[in-house]
């Protein structure tokens, strides 16, 4: 999985990446491919604001950022049906992440 994080940052250069996986984007232990590294720092060096919270995401949308790396959990995101009420209030659902991503991509098309 570290290799996938590396490819997102170093190879594909996608505009918006949202989900869980802080541990995969900043790993000291190599994965099965032998990949490890701090891809969060690399993303920042390539112009990606990095956000970890709803507030950070809302700010990025309000600022009409062109690139964004949003990491909202240490590993995979907890499925909606397993979340506690507190988790639901502070963490994104798949639907809300998709909506935010669509807004960012739409703003890129309209304003750039």
Q: What is the chain's Cα-based Rg? A: 14
**pLDDT tens for each residue of 8-52:** 999 998 888 887 788 889 988 888 999 999 999 999 999 999 999
> Is a pLDDT exceeding 80 seen at residue 77?
no
pLDDT band at 86 (very low <50, low <70, confident <90, very high): confident
8 Å CB contact between 86 and 47: no
- Name the domain count of the chain: 1
Mean pLDDT for 69-94 is 75
Per-residue pLDDT at 108:
64
Q: Which residues make Cβ contacts (< 8 Å) with residue 101, sequence separation at least 6?
A: 16, 18
> Is a pLDDT exceeding 60 seen at residue 112?
no
Cβ neighbour number for residue 95 with a 10 Å cutoff: 9
> Is a pLDDT exceeding 70 seen at residue 91?
no
Q: What is the pTM of this model?
A: 0.76
Could you give phi then psi for residue 57, rounded to 5 degrees? -65, -45
- Helices (H) and strands (E) counted in the chain, each on its own, are 6, 5
The parent domain of residue 9 ranges over: 2-111
Cβ neighbour number for residue 106 with a 10 Å cutoff: 10
């Amino acid at each position: 999985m570290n290799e996938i994080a590396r490819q997102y940052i170093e190879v594909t250069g996608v505009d918006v990446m949202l989900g869980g996986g802080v541990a995969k984007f900043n790993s000291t232990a190599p994965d099965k491919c032998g990949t490890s590294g701090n891809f969060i720092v690399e993303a920042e060096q390539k112009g990606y604001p990095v956000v970890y919270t709803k507030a950070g995401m809302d700010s990025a949308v309000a600022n009409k950022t062109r690139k964004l790396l949003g990491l909202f959990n240490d590993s995979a995101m907890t499925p909606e049906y397993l979340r506690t009420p507190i988790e639901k209030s502070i963490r994104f659902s798949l639907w809300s992440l998709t909506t935010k991503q669509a807004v960012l991509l739409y703003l890129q098309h309209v304003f750039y």
